Chain A
Amino acid sequence: MALLDVRKLTKSYGETQALSDVSFQISKGEFVSVIGPSGSGKTTLIRCVNRLIEPSAGEIVFDGKEMTALRGPELRRERARIGMIFQHYNLVYRLTVIENVLHGRLGYKGAIKGVFSMYDEQEKRHALEILELLGLGELVYRRCDMLSGGQKQRVGIARALVQNPRIILCDEPISSLDPSSARIIMDYLLKIRTEMGITMVVNLHQIDVARKYSSRILGFNKGTLVFDGPSDQLSQQKIYEIYGAEAGELIND
Chain B
Amino acid sequence: MSTVDYNRWTGKIAIRRLTTSQAWLYSVLVVLSSATVYGFLVLDTKGVGLIDAATRTIEYFGLMFGSPRGVPSHFGVFNDSTAALFLASFNLVLQTLSLAFLSTLLGGVIALVLGLFGAKNLTGPRTSNAIKGLMALIRAVPTVLWVLIFAIGAGLGAVAAVIGMSFHTIGYLLKAYSESFEEIDEGVIEALRASGASWLHIVSQAVLPSSITQILSWTFLRFEINFAVAVAMGAAAGAGGIGYNMFISAGYFFDIREIGFITYQILVIAILLEVVATRLKKRYRLAS
Contacts and interface: CB of A to CB of B under 8 A. Distances in A.
Given A80-B195, A88-B187, A94 B200 contact: no
B198 A94 contact: no
Contacts of A103: 191-192, 195, 197, 205-206
A86 interface: yes
B263 to A, nearest CB: 42
Interface string B178-219: 000000010110111111111011001110011010000000
A109 B209 CA distance: 19
A111 B202 CA distance: 11
A76 B198 contact: yes
Interface residues of A, number: 35
B5 to A, nearest CB: 56
Contacts, number: 85
A93 interface: yes
Contact of A106 (B185, B188, B197, B209): B197
Given A86-B191, A106-B201, A114-B201, A92 B196 contact: no
Given A90-B187, A91-B188, A117 B205 contact: yes
Contacts of B201: 106, 109, 111, 114-115
Interface string A83-101: 1101011111111000000
B159 to A, nearest CB: 34
Given A52-B190, A86-B187, A103-B205, A111 B195 contact: no
Contact of A52 (B188, B193, B198): B193
A88 B209 CA distance: 19
A94 B210 contact: yes
A114 B194 contact: no
A115 B192 CA distance: 13
Contacts of B190: 52, 86, 90
A95 B206 CA distance: 9
Contacts of B198: 76, 106, 111, 114
Interface string B77-92: 0000000000000000
Contact of B200 (A78, A83, A114, A117): A114
A52 B210 contact: no
A109 B191 CA distance: 16
Nearest to A88: B187
Most chain B CB neighbours (cut-off 10 Å) among A78, A92, A116 = A92
Given A80-B196, A86-B187, A115-B201, 4 more contacts: A84-B191, A84-B194, A103-B191, A117-B205
30 contacts: A52-B190, A52-B193, A75-B196, A76-B196, A76-B198, A77-B196, A84-B191, A86-B190, A86-B191, A88-B185, A90-B185, A90-B188, A92-B206, A92-B209, A94-B209, A94-B212, A95-B205, A95-B209, A103-B195, A103-B205, A106-B192, A106-B196, A106-B197, A106-B201, A107-B196, A108-B196, A109-B201, A114-B198, A117-B205, A156-B191
Interface of B: 185, 187-188, 190-198, 200-201, 204-206, 209-210, 212
Interface of A: 50, 52, 75-80, 82-84, 86, 88-95, 103-104, 106-109, 111, 114-117, 156, 159-160, 163
